[in-house]
Amino acid sequence: MSRRRKRFLCGHQGYGQTCHRCAQELQAKTLKATVREQARAARQEWAASFAQDVVDLEGLPKSIVLKARQVIAEILAGADYRRFKGKRLNHDRRVISIPLNYHYRLICYDTGDRIEPRSVLSHEDYNVKKPLA
Ligand SMILES: [Zn+2]
């Protein structure tokens, strides 16, 4: 068996029938494309997920989106808003503010027979435009 080093058509040098460097580069390129494709699919899936939300959550930080979805699901299932440290507003007792974290809160409206999630506001939004019912 000849183990003579030779120069391939691509210009690389090595042993065997085909160039291992080119094979490796191709494999790395394919892997990168796969990773890119998976990231693109994940982004698309994330963007599409907002269509299912009863409250507009687009543009919010991912952790807030996930927290909001969890709280909204539980509120819609009949959970008491006080479980999430929710409070009724003094200027309108029908409006309930539920903290999601230090910066964001979920605003719900008590229609009389149910609690409807309405919007997620940041601390800044909340102070500028008082939540509308
Ligand atoms: Zn090569």
DSSP code, position 59:
T
Taking a 5 Å cut-off on Cβ, the residues next to ion ligand 1 are 10, 12, 19, 21-22
What's the pLDDT at 123? 80
Expressed in angstroms and rounded, the spacing between residue 85 Cα and the centre of ligand 1 is 64
Give average pLDDT by consecutive 10-residue segment, the chain, 133 residues: 82 93 96 97 95 95 96 96 96 96 96 95 74 52
Q: What pLDDT shows up at residue 130?
A: 59
Q: How many angstroms does the Cα of residue 39 sit away from the middle of ligand 1? A: 29
Looking at CATH, the fold of the domain delimited by 53-128 is given as YaeB-like fold (3.30.2310)
Angle 45-39-71 from CA coordinates, rounded to 5°? 40
Neighbouring C-alpha atoms within 13 Å toward the C-beta of 72: 20
How far apart are alpha carbons 89 and 123 in whole angstroms? Answer: 15
**117 pairs with which residues across the strands?**
108
pLDDT at 124: 78
Per-residue confidence (pLDDT) for residue 133, from 0 to 100 = 46
Q: 37 C-alpha to center of ligand 1: Å?
A: 26
pLDDT 10s digits, 31-60? 999 999 999 999 999 999 999 999 999 999
Please give, one letter per residue, the 3-state secondary structure of 60-93: CCHHHHHHHHHHHHHHHCCCCHHHHCCEECCCCC
